Structure 1
Amino acid sequence: MSLAVAALGGGHGLSASLSALRLMTQEITAIVTVADDGGSSGRLRNELDVLPPGDLRMALSALCDDSEWGRLWRDLLQHRFTSEGDLNNHAVGNLLIVALWELLDDNVAGLDWVGKLLGARGRVLPMASVPLSIEADMAVGGRTFTVQGQSLVAATAGHVENLRLIPQSPPACVEAVQAVYDADWVVLGPGSWFSSVMPHLLVPDLRKALLTTQARRCVTLNLSNSGTETYGMSTADHVRALVRHAPDLRVDAILADPSSVDDTDELLLAAKALGASVIFRQLRRGDGTARHDPLRLAAAYQDVFDNFLGDVGTISS
């Protein structure tokens, strides 16, 4: 019997974890941030008052069947129009997902039908049943200011001190909450820390599920700390941000590539506050870019899932 895994995040980071997890199990539920307000997703969200479909589309594409059929439909979903008109830069998959939502009047059913079309190895769900906005209190150079909107939070250089959702207590997707309770493992990250990973902890019912589920929890750290929204943050600071926004959260394992960790002792200390073991594995692609290699990440997840290290602060090489 394969493990049931709930993977939380958004964008390219979630695609990385899903591309690895799909090599290990078919019982995957991707739980996706729905706060995107830029590009094709933002335009559809504003025009049609729907969930932003872009990150959901990317998650579905990452789980597609590795066959000629699956790859062709994946490529179609990811295809973007180039024109001088209104279709410019719209992704075909975004339009398909929104059309199914209109036909079925059911966000979850629409995503499930796209999954069937792709032969997806798992299920993709929104983290909330309404579109969200992200608001962050940021500080830089002694100045504090507030930024609203996922695209602006992601693009603004500054230290994020506090993060909020608008609305502040959004309704969670019921199926997503149940998937967290039903999972053997919950995987949080990698991805844009404040605009894709952390928002899951701010949806009340989803947060409760993450705090109380019997599943083990694994946090996957990013390969680079140079993102704009994580300006000046160390690897340990990423973990401390989780503690600050969800002090009751307990994590079993933190997975990190040693080449991306700037201070091992500080990371171990931060991990201790979550009750977590730190497991080091080579996760980076061989081309030198800050991207996770699916095979290496899958092997690391397999090590964590099969041979979980229960002692806080344990380092594996």
Structure 2
Amino acid sequence: MTDRAGRLRGLRRVVPEGRLGRAAEARASRPVEVRGARPRRRGAQPKVVALGGGMGLSASLAALRRITGDLTAVVTVADDGGSSGRLRDELGVLPPGDLRKALAALCGDDDWGQTWARVIQHRFQSQGDLHDHAVGNLLIVALWEQLGNHVMALDLVGRLLGAHGRVLPMSAVPLELQALVKGHDPARPEDVDTVRGQATVALTPGEVQSVHLVPSDPPAVPEAVEAVLDADWVVLGPGSWFSSVIPHLLVPELLDALTQTKARRVLPLNLAPQPGETEGFSPQRHLEVLGRHAPKLALDVVLADEAAVPDRDSLTEAAKRLGAAVELAPVARTDGTPRHDPELLAAAYDRIFRMHGRIGPWR
């Protein structure tokens, strides 16, 4: 039997034809099993949870799926722009865009995986209402409506794609990101205003002072909390600092899990400040603002590209205040763009997991 036939048969076992309504009532008592990228003997690979959103999380997942098959992505759900924002406003659903990107990043390098990655990332171009909607966004939202269960629907999409890992939202309710921004209005450079919405925060010309979520105490998805508590390694970032990375620390149950887990915690830094959101930020300042938002959170390793660190001593001191060691490694693409290279990032993660693991190369 071909791989494709096997996957399709697996889909029919999860939700048989004509049984979607019954599946919604059942509420998915058992998660869909997701097979790993490289099956290994039991216990031979680390359990890794990666948190973030957008292209930063996608880069991390594309690297991590190369070194472990036990991988879970926990994705922010505060996006309010583009196709995700339109679906959120019209249907009252979670914004699916960052979830879609994470699923695409977990697709394999075979024909099946790459075909589906392109399909779910495809955007319609038209003069009508479908313009700029991503196919994957529509598929995810359709399954949410059919099944009535966010986790079950995402597991099902992952099974269809042959994803090398699992994708979960950090919360089951749509969230609004709000920020205190100094100089958001260039005509009033010293004033501090409240800026609402992830898309607006990400593009502010001012200086972001802090961020918070509305509602302020959103419930975490239980499977996300469980994954963090059961992990060997938790990877936070890289990505848009205030709109993709820090929001995970603003969900109380998720922050509790991050502080209580026995997993090692690694923070990969961005390769360059983000225009608008972190314009002019040094690597150590990224750590300082993260520490202010979650003062009880300790880290184990801060990963940075050597070429992106002009002051190693200051970064080392900032990391030490969070309990972390600094690991420098070449992780950037060689084309000059501030993007992570999946193979180089995978090599850096692999080395960190082996060097800093508690028991042998893996637990």
TM-score (norm 1): 0.96
CA distance in 2 between counterparts of 1:226 and 1:53 reads 23
Q: What corresponds to 2:297 in structure 1?
A: 249
Q: What corresponds to 1:314 in structure 2?
A: none
2:153 match: secondary structure = helix
Q: What corresponds to 1:212 in structure 2?
A: 260
CA distance in 2 between counterparts of 1:88 and 1:104 reads 26
Count of residues in correspondence between the two structures: 310
Q: Alpha-carbon deviations, 1:270-297, whole Å to 9, x = none?
A: 1111010000000110111100000000
Q: Alpha-carbon deviations, 1:245-276, whole Å to 9, x = none?
A: 11111100000001111321211111111010
Determine if the alignment matches structure 1 residue 237 to structure 2 residue 285: yes
Superposed counterparts of 1:13-28, under 5 Å: 13-28=56-71
Q: 1:122 aligns with which of 159, 162, 165?
A: 165
1:275 match: secondary structure = coil
Q: What corresponds to 2:89 in structure 1?
A: 46
Determine if the alignment matches structure 1 residue 147 to structure 2 residue 190: no
Q: What corresponds to 2:12 in structure 1?
A: none
Q: Which amino acid aligns with 1:42?
A: G
CA distance in 1 between counterparts of 2:241 and 2:206 reads 13
Structure 1: segments with no counterpart, 5+ residues: 311-317
Deviating runs (4+, > 4 A) in structure 1? none
Q: What corresponds to 2:152 in structure 1?
A: 109
Q: What corresponds to 1:35 in structure 2?
A: 78
Q: Which amino acid aligns with 2:162?
A: G
Q: 1:285 aligns with which of 314, 329, 333?
A: 333
Q: 1:71 aligns with which of 96, 114, 117?
A: 114
1:228 match: secondary structure = coil
Give 1:227 deviation, angstroms. Answer: 2.5
Q: Alpha-carbon deviations, 1:36-81, whole Å to 9, x = none?
A: 0000000000100000000000000000122111111111100000
CA distance in 2 between counterparts of 1:137 and 1:273 reads 25
Q: What corresponds to 2:137 in structure 1?
A: 94
CA distance in 2 between counterparts of 1:88 and 1:207 reads 37
Q: Mean Cα displacement is larger for which, 18-27 or 136-145?
A: 136-145
Determine if the alignment matches structure 1 residue 3 to structure 2 residue 51: no
Give 1:185 deviation, angstroms. Answer: 0.2
Determine if the alignment matches structure 1 residue 56 to structure 2 residue 104: no
Determine if the alignment matches structure 1 residue 190 to structure 2 residue 190: no
Q: Which amino acid aligns with 1:199?
A: P
CA distance in 2 between counterparts of 1:233 and 1:87 reads 38
1:36 match: secondary structure = coil
Q: Alpha-carbon deviations, 1:292-317, whole Å to 9, x = none?
A: 0000000000110001299xxxxxxx
CA distance in 1 between counterparts of 2:190 and 2:308 reads 28
Superposed counterparts of 1:236-315, under 5 Å: 236-308=284-356
CA distance in 1 between counterparts of 2:167 and 2:340 reads 21
CA distance in 1 between counterparts of 2:313 and 2:245 reads 24
Would you say the 8 A contact 1:77–1:93 is kept in 2?
A: yes
Aligned-residue Cα RMSD (Å) equals: 1.1
CA distance in 2 between counterparts of 1:294 and 1:72 reads 19
Q: What corresponds to 2:55 in structure 1?
A: 12
Would you say the 8 A contact 1:159–1:233 is kept in 2?
A: no
Would you say the 8 A contact 1:277–1:309 is kept in 2?
A: no
CA distance in 1 between counterparts of 2:230 and 2:177 reads 28
Give 1:232 deviation, angstroms. Answer: 2.3
TM-score (norm 2): 0.84
Structure 2: segments with no counterpart, 5+ residues: 1-43, 184-188, 359-363
